[in-house]
Structure 1
């Protein structure tokens, strides 16, 4: 039951990964790297389906040869690992070395598969099906011992090659999701050693005598192979779905930022309706469809409004706001956002009554962001949130009281 559940889940995960990459391949059939990746994932997914005990037995019955499913499974894994290695060579090697290294890898794989097929059919494995304990049951059977050793040698060499190439290449790439995927593959290859090494040791021990590692070989090692398969499926597809996740997260962040800036945009465009080039979206669906456009328009219109309010800025307001922030233990970016928010709120009030003041000091002019709308958009989110702080009405009330005292004294 354990193997049915685990292999069934792994088959589903790896076939799902295959579907993701096949979609990319359908757009670019001539892409050699995508061809290799699809071949690798499909031949890694197939063994878990075939190794599920009920499928294993029925496959043997269909082909009329007991335990032939083991040969099919191990051959698929050999093709898979060869494809993985060839793909990584394409990614990490110079163009002049790719062809030679591909030939060496494919040559070794073909030699191994031919040897495996030869040893398998020279041996005798016809007593009954062994979907779970084939390696243990036939460990000392003539020719099957060689068959298993040949396969485990290929598996071990492939895992070591994946570890070395993936880790080295991950230190060279600058794409975060690709780098992360390569490191996940490295972890998968390390986990894969937990499959092949115990099996190789147990097999060698069985040749010399009875191995005490039979349960490790037939139960524990396949679980390591299952974990490695899951990591491979995740790692090799991570650059695709990872970028998609980043795009989705960026869209959600932009949507929320638009909503958080909206009260600030409303306040400014109410004072200067002429700066609105395009009316705001009439529905959330319209906003979702044209989010980038509406974001840019929102930021540009707020900046336009800020420029028009600049004549109302007052150094005294900044100083008073900073004192209020100090009293409330507000520092850093939050304090600067509050200074801008109070200046905007006071300037909007001054605009309503038509009062204009000259700039008192260059320190009242915010540092330029070199026209970077992304930086401005982030800053304006902070300013919009600062407008909701109790500091703003507190400072405005003090300004009103100070103005009233000045009028009374005069």
Structure 2
């Protein structure tokens, strides 16, 4: 795998880390937030420092041949520990249990890192190897043991994390379950990464050349695991937000025709307070709903129940279902009142009852759809002298009707 295959996953992970930084600043005391950020940041560091150009630079700066290999092993061990801690904090449980398990994993991988440093210091690796350090020094005293230790530590974390995610996924539902299944795939790929490297190292110790497993296939599996890890960790957090945001935006768009109709009643009047374009979708929706209520208050003196009843009766006569006909009647009444207000007409309409004026969000959406989709509404209000019998045409097959 060329350098591009290392730097792209590193950049992707660090971009995700940058996105999570505001959450870290707001809740840096939350161990779950810290764990997520550490996993993402350290995962990116693992890819960055494993790239051959970075390996060469670290070796040159340190003046120690293959010092970068030790650094990569330490980063990978830290990544393994961070993933285990993340799963422990994410799943939760009693505070004492979470602390005890977290301390055990943290202590264990701290010891692994310390032993890696000691073994590297005791060993001798004078020839710089940028891509095949694992197999080249597989049989070297102390260095070979260091390689085996880091691979076993990584495999342990991958296996334990996969099992924990698998068991947890069987107990939950929704976005969390989907994220856990994706994490299982990612950690199985990580397990395959260390498994292939371990097989290549063992083969080298036995006098066979399986280096391609370590130098070619295992980096590819690691690069494939990165997006699964990103999606698996972020999906349970982003998924519900994305669905809620999508629904909010859909509602905002659906209310557009009604808002525009009421805004046209008095162009000089601002319906609800203006907001900045970068405000959240929920803020935009709240302001649009407030604007609609302001508009209804503005045209209320011109609301005529005769218009509503006439449009509803005409719609029912045209074969429209009763709920749809009710929405058509309300839409016709609001459009007639909006036009009368805009034109400055003053008359004494028959005031509708409270139940005839839509207030709930679902009813407002239905009225908005009626304003946009049904031509019957467009004919209402053009003749103030006889507004009660608008023309109605049947809804053809395949044509939208309000729901």
Q: Find the aligned partners of 1:258 and 1:376 in 2 and give their Cα distance.
A: 10
Alignment of 1:1-400 (within 5 A): 2-94=1-93, 95-127=95-127, 129-170=128-169, 176=175, 180-211=178-209, 213-238=210-235, 249=246, 252-253=249-250, 255-266=252-263, 279-280=270-271, 285=276, 291-301=284-294, 309=303, 311-312=305-306, 317-318=311-312, 320-322=314-316, 324-325=318-319, 336-337=323-324, 339-342=326-329, 344-345=331-332, 356=350, 373-386=360-373, 389-392=374-377, 399=389
- Aligned twin of 2:396: none
Stretches of structure 1 that go unaligned for 5 or more consecutive residues are: 360-364, 403-410
TM-score by length of 1: 0.74
Q: Find the aligned partners of 2:42 and 2:248 in 1 and give their Cα distance.
A: 36
Task: Report how far residue 6 of structure 1 moved.
Answer: 1.3
How big is each residue's C-alpha offset from its partner over 1:152-208, in whole Å with a ceiling of 9 and x where there is no partner? Answer: 2221221122223334445666784x5554444333212212311222222223333
Given that 1:320 and 1:395 are in contact with CA atoms closer than 8 Å, whether structure 2 keeps it comes out as no
Q: Find the aligned partners of 1:75 and 1:390 in 2 and give their Cα distance.
A: 70
> What's the secondary structure of 1:291's corresponding residue?
helix
> What's the secondary structure of 1:139's corresponding residue?
coil
Task: Report how far residue 151 of structure 1 moved.
Answer: 1.6
Given that 1:60 and 1:66 are in contact with CA atoms closer than 8 Å, whether structure 2 keeps it comes out as yes
Q: Find the aligned partners of 1:130 and 1:188 in 2 and give their Cα distance.
A: 28
Task: Report how far residue 395 of structure 1 moved.
Answer: 9.8
CA RMSD, aligned part only? 4.1
Stretches of structure 2 that go unaligned for 5 or more consecutive residues are: 382-386, 393-403
Q: Find the aligned partners of 1:310 and 1:228 in 2 and give their Cα distance.
A: 64
Distance 1:98 1:343, change over 3 A: closer
Distance 1:383 1:124, change over 3 A: same
> What's the secondary structure of 2:3's corresponding residue?
helix
How big is each residue's C-alpha offset from its partner over 1:107-139, in whole Å with a ceiling of 9 and x where there is no partner? Answer: 331332233333333433212x22212222223
TM-score by length of 2: 0.75
Given that 2:310 and 2:390 are in contact with CA atoms closer than 8 Å, whether structure 1 keeps it comes out as no
Task: Report how far residue 66 of structure 1 moved.
Answer: 1.1
Task: Report how far residue 144 of structure 1 moved.
Answer: 3.1
Q: Find the aligned partners of 1:35 and 1:398 in 2 and give their Cα distance.
A: 65
Which stretch of structure 1 is more off in the superposition, 197-206 or 70-79? 197-206
Task: Report how far residue 92 of structure 1 moved.
Answer: 1.2
Q: Find the aligned partners of 2:162 and 2:188 in 1 and give their Cα distance.
A: 7
How big is each residue's C-alpha offset from its partner over 1:338-367, in whole Å with a ceiling of 9 and x where there is no partner? Answer: 6522454268659987564999xxxxx77x
Q: Find the aligned partners of 1:171 and 1:310 in 2 and give their Cα distance.
A: 58
How big is each residue's C-alpha offset from its partner over 1:220-269, in whole Å with a ceiling of 9 and x where there is no partner? Answer: 111111222233234434566667756764664455344332244247x5
Task: Report how far residue 89 of structure 1 moved.
Answer: 0.8
- The number of equivalent residue pairs is 376
Given that 2:77 and 2:113 are in contact with CA atoms closer than 8 Å, whether structure 1 keeps it comes out as yes
